Structure 1
Amino acid sequence: MKLISIGELSKISGSTIRALRYYDDKGFLKPEYIDHETNYRYYSADQLGKLTVLQMCSEFGIPLKKLELFQDTGSNFDLSSMISEGEELLRNKLEELKVLEARMDSLKRSISNLQEKKSINSVYKNEYPERIVITITYDYVDPYSHSFSKMITDLYKKVRKYNLTALYNQGVIKVKDDRKDKMVGFIEVKKMTFTKEQNKHLVKLPAGNYQCELFEFEDFRSNFNLIWNQKVEEDELVICSDIFDSNFSKAVPYIEIQKLPLIEPLIIK
């Protein structure tokens, strides 16, 4: 039986020598013969079939440790099952790419809108569409204390738990609840067809012409009592939202305060 050197197999198959050595080390494709004096690896022509399957797994993104799932007791592989596995992985990857695209678009819009807002030196009106957010109780008076980072981390855990897509809009919401100011942290999520379980944890912020004011973060903190600690009016929604800038160096470069009179009470979950 004529044997093929690892270099020849590399040229024939298109696999790199490094990949062939990896397949050997991990036990996926052992050489037919190893010259113990030179340590050269040699393969039989029959091993080209298994190598082709290994290449398919790599191309389809199928972990090589799953290879045995598609192999019978002999040396035959069920390519139809392997293709089905690859298709499922591809669908998942496409979903991940859609999620990434939605997050990038959200951040791009936020940065673009900020450039216009920065030129306004007074209160302005901004038309916001309906926004879907996931919330968590936030009891601290200062929405940007050190506890804010932990609150956002906990929100992202909820986003992952309920298979939601977080967008680049986060902050704190204040409303009147039983005549007292109620504060919650929020992250906006991408609109989709939500399940009943997902809907239990989501809040719809109403569309409307919000009264807004933009602050650089340091200005917001130095005038905190005047800006944020005002009492919320009855039937009023107040949102304190982070705004990212293209020239980014600080975690929270800008804060936008958004206020809207509510036609009907907002139920915060």
Structure 2
Amino acid sequence: MVSFEHNIKLYKNVEVYMDGYMTIGEVAKVKQISIKALRYYEKIGILKPAYCDPDTGYRYYKNEQMLAIDMIKFLQILDIPLKNWNQYVEPTGEFDLKGLLRDGQIRAYEKIGELQSCLKRLQLAERGIQDTEKYRDCDGFYRREIPERNILRREIKEGLSSVEFHKKLSELFELAQKHQLSANYPSGMMLDVEDGTFTYFVYVEVYENCEELAEYKCIPAGTYECLRCPPKSIMRAAELYPEYFAKHAKFTVVESDCITSPVYFQEYPVELQLTNLH
């Protein structure tokens, strides 16, 4: 019987199709995958050609390897690392399809959860922008109804630099991600006032109630007295609204970003929101 290698030698420098084998170009075309990707699979050792001509470098794959390509593409869709491919291949060379399907279902449910979280973040951001646009042309103080908000916050020192502020903000986003919370815009700074003592915080709004976290605070729905100001005006809130500070001994001021659509990459005003929250 004439060997496959012998037949290949007879047709050097000609791309041929042998019964049961396909060239790398044919595999790429049939499976709608790039030759570069197939070479990468070979490089990392998860899918080697059935035969590689030592003289021409032509690569040939068996028809039976097409299922493996489908499974590799499946792994990529589910974001399962290709380095995990070998755990589904038995020492005998048999493929553990049940194992892949089991892990695939687990990853699929994880991706559904991630997409649901992403949707909540988008809805939260959209609500914040819509609320902001309603009051973009207001001058001086105005009142507005704001629904209940869940936030994560951390105390900061007065006079925080922009770099330190964004570092603290990033820490809160990482905390939210760790606990699978939907954190997004709006974000900003807060001030707790109690008997003349000022305590400043950086905060992000989250979709979920997470009262088990020390950083969590629920801001109840209410009528807020608001004022549009330059960023970090919360540090001057007492001089901007002395009557309110003189009248109330215990309250919270929220400084919220006023980003609108379309976005211009320039400094945006913030909205100071004052109400009796305690």
TM-score normalised by the chain length of structure 1: 0.81
Q: Structure 1 residues 5, 166: closer, same or farther in 2, change over 3 A?
A: same
Equivalent position of 1:213 in the other structure: 227
Greater gyration radius: 2
Unaligned runs of 5+ in 1: none
Equivalent position of 1:248 in the other structure: 264
Equivalent position of 2:11 in the other structure: none
Q: Residue 181 of structure 1 contacts residue 231 of structure 1 at CA under 8 Å; is this kept in 2?
A: no
The CA RMSD measured in Å over matched residues stands at 2.9
The AA in structure 2 aligned to 1:120 is: C
- Select which of 213, 238, 259 maps to 2:253: 238
Deviation at 1:208, TM superposition (A): 0.5
- Select which of 195, 202, 209 maps to 2:216: 202
Deviation at 1:189, TM superposition (A): 1.1
Q: Structure 1 residues 222, 163: closer, same or farther in 2, change over 3 A?
A: closer
Q: For residues 258 and 114 of structure 1, what CA distance do their matches in structure 2 show?
A: 12
Q: Structure 1 residues 46, 150: closer, same or farther in 2, change over 3 A?
A: closer
Equivalent position of 2:181 in the other structure: 164
Q: For residues 146 and 5 of structure 1, what CA distance do their matches in structure 2 show?
A: 55
Moved more, 91-100 or 9-18: 9-18
Q: Residue 61 of structure 1 contacts residue 86 of structure 1 at CA under 8 Å; is this kept in 2?
A: no
Q: Structure 1 residues 41, 131: closer, same or farther in 2, change over 3 A?
A: same
Q: Structure 1 residues 22, 240: closer, same or farther in 2, change over 3 A?
A: same
Q: Does 1:120 align with 2:142?
A: no
Equivalent position of 2:85 in the other structure: 67
Q: Structure 1 residues 216, 139: closer, same or farther in 2, change over 3 A?
A: closer
**Across the two proteins, how many residue pairs are aligned to each other?**
257
Q: Residue 164 of structure 1 contacts residue 190 of structure 1 at CA under 8 Å; is this kept in 2?
A: yes
The AA in structure 1 aligned to 2:39 is: R
Deviation at 1:145, TM superposition (A): 5.4
Equivalent runs, 1:7-26 vs 2, <5 Å: 7-26=25-44
Q: For residues 157 and 55 of structure 1, what CA distance do their matches in structure 2 show?
A: 30
- Select which of 190, 207, 215 maps to 1:173: 190
Q: Residue 189 of structure 2 contacts residue 234 of structure 2 at CA under 8 Å; is this kept in 1?
A: no
* CA deviation map 1:188-212 (0-9, x unaligned): 11125x4x743x3311111101111
Unaligned runs of 5+ in 2: 5-17
Identity %: 26
